[in-house]
Amino acid sequence: MTTNENNFQAIISHAKEYGFVFQSSEIYDGLSAVYDYGPYGSELKKNIKDYWWRSMTQFHENIVGIDAAIFMHPTTWKASGHVDNFSDPMIDNKDSNKRYRVDHLIEGYAEELTAQGKEKESEELITEMDRLLAAEDFTALKKLLEQHKISCAVSGTCNWTDIRQFNLMFSTQVGSVTEESDTIYLRPETAQGIFVNFLNVQKTARMKIPFGIAQIGKAFRNEIVARQFIFRMREFEQMEMQFFIRPGTQAQWFEYWKKTRLDWHLSLGIPADKYRYHNHVKLAHYADAALDIEYEFPFGFKEVEGIHSRTDFDLKSHQAYSGKKMQYFDNEINQNYIPYVIETSIGLDRMFLLIMSHAYEEETITKEDGSTDSRSVLHFPALLAPVKLAVLPLTKKDGLPEIARDLMNDCKTAFRCFYEEKDAIGKRYRRQDAIGTPFCVTIDHQTKEDQTVTIRYRDSMKQERVPLDKVKQLVQQAVA
């Protein structure tokens, strides 16, 4: 295994050991590509959600939120194009019976070429793949696999079936009697809940174009190949925003959201060189421009967020299928039109993995006497950390727990705190490092004399004495 793969495995183990992410239904050996978030994971996830929600709705006067249902009228998915187009080209290896996404197979091979220093060949292969995918020329795509002798990782052979399209939507039935029931889908994206509510929101919140509608919620995709932990799941959460604009202004708004969204990522203190833009060559059926914001995960640069210029495709199509007008009267130019849309769509679980990947460190510490020690630490931005402050009385007696409890009670209404009396202080610090708590405060005997405490900073491990009554403010400033 390479160091990066080792690092990724270490992150997965750490996520489990410290209550961030568990495999779903683990006692039954799990369910593939479905995960549960534990005590610290659910807290981290909620903090990411809140930060996104705030940056969308609170920081932009012209963006409001909704919370639409997962189930939608089945015609929604006909109108959106998902029934006919939401599929991935897949192929099976006849010897191993393993199923692959064709684009993943080719991309994997291209990465190998790059690693061997054959960048030009790798780029040409990807360009050719994009061209064939766009043309939906599956015969030629299969030939491309054969030409390059791209083989199955399990059987090692190139004995492939033909390429087929595989629809990613999950379906289920509503209605209790099978004969009377209707097939409905679990939404594969949250965006359609926004489109069908476009007029409801515009009218009730009295929104004027340009304006946005934001939503956070579950989405479901029957992914052919689900691996890489929570990177590709069958049930996941999206944070999406549809920004409704005047037709003809899409290029300028696309640029605006491209920059604004990358700035959001950078505002979390993640270095810019960990990110890059990837422009789509093969555009989705609804888009006139699209790009991904990619992050360098331990397994390479991969998409974390998509910015799509969706034209008026969705509203126009819903208008055609529903027979209801999806128009907006723009009184500045005295015209009725179907708005164009720029979408920003980020996977909450992928963002969670990004934050975990960036934060995780297996650190070697050199002590004053020259000996070494190690610690597992999560360098979360304080704003996202599951616990902000650990309050630790040095001993269980001499009135120290009482002082600590008073501090807890004062702080817990403002941010998430953690209280612990057990074990040596060093051990307690390490446990807080492992869950990413940015501040620990120790109450000791000196506290009783001069009302000061020791504050210990997670990243530098520096300790200093500060007045007890300044702790709350200090933490609040850091997590604001």
Contacts with ligand ATP by CB under 6 A lie at 189, 221, 223, 232-233, 236, 238, 303-306, 345-347, 349-350
Q: How many Cα atoms occupy the beta-carbon half-sphere of 336 within 13 Å?
A: 3
Taking the complex as a whole, the smallest distance from the CB of residue 161 to ligand ATP amounts, in Å, to 22
Nearer to ligand ATP, 345 or 376 (CB): 345
Residue closer to ligand ATP by CB (options 224, 404) is 224
CA–CA separation, 220 and 149 (whole Å): 34
Residue type, 348: L
Q: Which is nearer to ligand ATP, 237 or 312 (CB)?
A: 237
Tokens standing for 16?
Answer: 């489990």
Listed in sequence order, the residues at least 6 apart from 307 whose beta carbon sits closer than 8 Å to its beta carbon are 254, 257, 258, 261, 290, 291, 292, 293, 342, 343, 344, 345
**Nearest CA to 108 among 299, 248, 290?**
299
> Which are the contacts of 139, defined by CB distance < 8 A and separation ≥ 6?
none
Of 238 and 447, the one with the shorter C-beta distance to ligand ATP is 238
Q: What is the DSSP letter of 338?
A: P
Specify the residue, 350 or 379, whose C-beta has the smaller distance to ligand ATP.
350
State which amino acid sits at residue 94: K
- Shortest Cβ 398–ligand ATP spacing (Å): 51
H runs (alpha helix) in 345-399: 348-359
- Measured from the CB atom, the residue of 145 and 304 that comes closer to ligand ATP is 304
Q: Which residue is nearest to ligand ATP (CB)?
A: 347
Burial (CB < 10 A; 0-12, 13-18, 19+), residue 147, is exposed
Please report, for residues 3, 66, 85, 287, the alpha-carbon distance to residue 183 in angstroms, rounded to integers and kept in the order given: 47, 25, 18, 28
Q: How far is the CB of 347 from ligand ATP (least distance, A)?
A: 2
Tokens of 449: 């004399």
Q: How far is the CB of 213 from ligand ATP (least distance, A)?
A: 16
In the complex, the smallest distance separating the C-beta of residue 175 from ligand ATP, rounded to whole angstroms, is: 29
CB of 317 to ligand ATP, least distance (A): 17
Nearer to ligand ATP, 60 or 104 (CB): 104
Q: Sign (positive/negative) of CA torsion 168, 174, 178, 183?
A: negative
